[in-house]
Amino acid sequence: MITKETIDKVYEASRVEEVIGDFVQLKRAGSNYKGLSPFSDERSPSFMVSPVKQIWKDFSSGKGGNAIAFIMEHEHFSYPEAIRYLAKKYNIEIEETELSDEQKEVANEKESLFLVSEFASKYFQDVLLNTEEGKAIAYTYFKERGFTNDTIKKFNLGYSPNQWDAFTKEALGKGYKLEFLEKTGLTIVGEDKQFDRFKGRVMFPIQSMSGRVLGFGGRILTNDKKAAKYLNSPESDLYHKSKVLYGIFHAKQAIAKQDNCYLVEGYTDVIQMHQTGIENVVASSGTALTPDQIRLINRLTKNITVLFDGDAAGLRASIRGIDLILEEGMNVKVCTFPDGDDPDSFAKKTPLQDLTAYLEENAMDFIQFKASLLMKDAKNDPIKKADLIRDMVASISKIPDRIKREVYIQEVSRIMEISEEVLFNTLAQLVKKDNSELGKKQKEEQQTSFEVHKNENVVAAANVDIQFELEHKIIEILLIYGNVEDDFEDIHLKANERGEMEEVKEMNKYKVYQRIFLSLQEDEIELANPLFRSIYNDIINYYNLNESFELDQYLSQLPSELAQEVTTILMNDEREALHNWEAKNIFVKAKDKTISQYVSETILTLRWFLVNKIIDELKTSVTKDTETDNSETLSMVVDYLGLTNVFSKKLGRVISRHN
């Protein structure tokens, strides 16, 4: 594990504007920077970076956080991967904590497998580019496929010599253990000898989303009928073919930005499309599409466009994967190429502008695709047509979203000229068959609850909004001014010379977080919004345990859900800079000039709101029944109304004292 000292050094060295500046073109906007969102297509900048607060906010997607969060979001790194990336950027040596012997063994073994795989990738490319055999056979093959030198290097394409143990000998000579060569599947170990798994093949390294080599695909170039045309690494601790997608490392940013992923079948399809300029493309690498592969795409986008060649037999076999995509709640389109073409060949001969136009114009909804594919056979055969309709409804039944299901049923009804009622009945039967009784019951309860209470919820939402805004403001104050000290007015009851109790006002210094905590404790107020309540408890605890408040350090220890909300609250003020109000001679009043007033107003207004809420509840409980004694309830209402008058006077005093 990376030590806390190393993590602290990374946080201290990292400048959010420098880190993000490597990926986004930033321009000055007052004390901040702004730019176009790297997570969505936009023409007007909604991406804001605050060097003072060391955080960023993308108002178009809602994402935000510190430098670490940006690297995790943009590069799709894990937290340790993001730390390592920034440590490398700022030349910080990574220190690891002492692990148990068992942990060391597991960690060392997995890292050893990665190191062997990385060595193999570099070795295969070196053979391709710098040996006579590699240049004559593999390099010539890739050039015939139309791949440029830059593309060959970008995808780390290589060649394994056509000798029984060339790679194994080289690896052992460099000090890599035979144990790990065997576990990665690069070397096959027999009783009395060992030999290379991929001998005589061009090599396609398969990388994780963060770029580490997990395994390989190898293509034979001879016409040996006894050998498989393509050969993949066997399953290992690193490589699980059902959980990886070829090209995901190079495609991830384009997929997230384009909000769409093109799914193809082979390695060369990905490489050729990428070289042409369509970078948001991945391949299932010759395996049947799996739920894990779909979920990998789902981390980046909800939209998949499956690209098929014109082979009808292959189409029928491949469309089974569409149902899996639908089951994951994703949107799927299909695009086919002309007969005789696949994504590789079509991209090779088609300029980017024409290729982009073709994909946009020919991508069709999966319902239209199934209808167009199978309708020719079914047109004059009622039985085949019925089977086709049933097949289309079966696909629709996989979709979790009920609204989408209904829309698609209407589309099938239109295309196939069959009544919606029949289709809905068929759909109901399929859904009933697929869902467990528990799942059905939960859905029915949710639907019933929504129908019964939807009007009540609208009213409730209106009532909650005021409290939400006040609680939001309290969290904002704590985050921005929590550690600031200021003068606050305290009022005490004290006996005068005549023995009468009277109010005595005095000014005392408090830190803002202390004043808010004491005020809420005094009235036993707990924030109603669960998210705000979690942030409130966390930040009060943080202030009590730490003398200073470092925002990046505070964000680093928060769960992601709370960190996102904190960033949103902090950057709301910065959003004004996007509109460049000052250039238009419009100046926003700075809150930090009247901190105590701002705090006091907010707390008093929250008290006022909550007391009025109690008054409304008491009034509701008063009955018109003449036999019921409502005197105690009415007396409480009068007392609470008196309290609201006190709040009103205090608010007036607070405002006038600062104006």
Q: What is the CATH number of the domain that holds 343?
A: 3.40.1360.10
Structural domain count of the chain: 4
Q: Kindly report the average pLDDT of the chain as a whole number.
A: 82
Residue 338 sits in the same domain as residue 418: yes
Mapped onto helix, strand or coil, the DSSP state of residue 335 is: strand
- Assess whether pLDDT exceeds 90 at residue 615: no
Mapped onto helix, strand or coil, the DSSP state of residue 169 is: helix
Q: Is residue 631 part of a domain?
A: no
**Alpha-carbon gap, residue 160 to 116, rounded angstroms:** 15
Average pLDDT of span 210-215: 88
Q: Is residue 419 part of a domain?
A: yes
Task: Give the residue carrying structure tokens 């201290």.
Answer: 12
Contact 11, 90 (CB under 8 A): no
Reading the block at residue 419, the tokens are: 């009544």
Closest CA to 286 of 356, 215, 341, 209: 215
Residue 308 sits in the same domain as residue 418: yes
DSSP codes, 592-644: GGSHHHHHHHHHHHHHHHHHHHHHHHHHHH----TTS--HHHHHHHHHHHHHH
Dihedral-angle region of residue 200 (phi above 0 means left; psi in -120 to 50 means alpha; beta otherwise): left
Last residue of some domain: 208, 239, 270?
239
**Alpha-carbon gap, residue 2 to 7, rounded angstroms:** 7
Residue 361 sits in the same domain as residue 328: yes
How would you classify the pairing of strands 303-308 and 331-336? Answer: parallel
Residue 232 sits in the same domain as residue 252: no
Model confidence pLDDT, tens digit, residues 145-191: 999 999 999 999 999 999 999 999 999 999 999 999 999 999 999 88
**Alpha-carbon gap, residue 180 to 116, rounded angstroms:** 7
State the pLDDT at residue 655: 42
Mapping DSSP onto H, E and C, the string for 48-64 reads: EEECCCCEEEECCCCCE
- Assess whether pLDDT exceeds 70 at residue 650: no
Instruction: Output the CA torsion 410→414→417→420 (10° steps).
Output: 20
Residue 127 sits in the same domain as residue 225: yes
**Alpha-carbon gap, residue 410 to 404, rounded angstroms:** 10
For residues 638 and 337, the model is more confident at: 337
Local structure of residue 100 (DSSP, 8 states): P
Tell me, what CATH number does 117's domain have? 3.90.980.10
Residue 373 sits in the same domain as residue 470: no
State the pLDDT at residue 477: 87
**Cβ neighbours for 286, distance < 8 A, ≥ 6 positions apart:** 217, 230, 232, 265, 266
Cβ neighbour number for residue 406 with a 10 Å cutoff: 15
Cβ neighbour number for residue 402 with a 10 Å cutoff: 11
Residue 170 sits in the same domain as residue 225: yes
Number of alpha carbons in the 13 Å side-chain half-sphere of residue 91 = 0
Strand partners, 307: 335
Residue 262 sits in the same domain as residue 330: yes
pLDDT band at 626 (very low <50, low <70, confident <90, very high): low
Model confidence pLDDT, tens digit, residues 555-603: 877 777 788 788 888 887 665 545 444 443 333 344 445 688 888 888 8
Q: Which amino acid is at 275?
A: Q
Contact 270, 246 (CB under 8 A): yes
For residues 280 and 22, the model is more confident at: 280
State the pLDDT at residue 451: 43
State the pLDDT at residue 74: 81
Residue 117 sits in the same domain as residue 81: no
Q: Is residue 9 part of a domain?
A: yes
Q: Which amino acid is at 151?
A: T
State the pLDDT at residue 139: 97
- Phi first, then psi, for residue 34 (nearest 5°) are -135, 160
Reading the block at residue 582, the tokens are: 């000052």
Mapped onto helix, strand or coil, the DSSP state of residue 174 is: coil
pLDDT band at 446 (very low <50, low <70, confident <90, very high): very low
Q: Is the pTM of this model over 0.75?
A: no
Reading the block at residue 171, the tokens are: 């690896």
Q: Is residue 370 part of a domain?
A: yes
How would you classify the pairing of strands 64-65 and 55-58? Answer: antiparallel
State the pLDDT at residue 587: 37
**Alpha-carbon gap, residue 56 to 251, rounded angstroms:** 24
- Assess whether pLDDT exceeds 50 at residue 352: yes
Closest CA to 321 of 336, 338, 307: 307
The residue segments making up the domain with residue 424 are 248-279+297-434
State the pLDDT at residue 391: 87
Among 6-20, 190-204, 458-472, 631-645, name the one with the lowest average pLDDT.
Answer: 458-472
pLDDT band at 416 (very low <50, low <70, confident <90, very high): confident
Contact 642, 614 (CB under 8 A): no
N-terminal to C-terminal alpha carbon distance within the chain? 55
- Assess whether pLDDT exceeds 80 at residue 42: no
Q: Is residue 656 part of a domain?
A: no
In the chain, count H helices and then E strands: 28, 18
- Assess whether pLDDT exceeds 90 at residue 470: no
Average pLDDT of span 422-450: 64
Residue 138 sits in the same domain as residue 75: no
- Assess whether pLDDT exceeds 50 at residue 278: yes
The CA R_g of the chain, rounded to the nearest whole Å, is 33
Reading the block at residue 323, the tokens are: 């149902």
**Alpha-carbon gap, residue 396 to 365, rounded angstroms:** 12
Q: Is residue 353 part of a domain?
A: yes
Q: Is residue 633 part of a domain?
A: no
Work out the burial of residue 596: count CB atoms within 10 Å of its CB; fewer than 13 is exposed, 13-18 middle, 19 or more buried.
buried
Dihedral-angle region of residue 192 (phi above 0 means left; psi in -120 to 50 means alpha; beta otherwise): alpha
Residue 477 sits in the same domain as residue 554: yes
DSSP H or E stretch at residue 501: strand 501-511
Reading the block at residue 485, the tokens are: 């000290």
- Assess whether pLDDT exceeds 70 at residue 370: yes
Average pLDDT of span 46-72: 86
Q: Is residue 99 part of a domain?
A: no
Residue 538 sits in the same domain as residue 592: yes
Local structure of residue 145 (DSSP, 8 states): T
Q: Residues of the chain with pLDDT > 90: what percent?
A: 32
Local structure of residue 337 (DSSP, 8 states): P
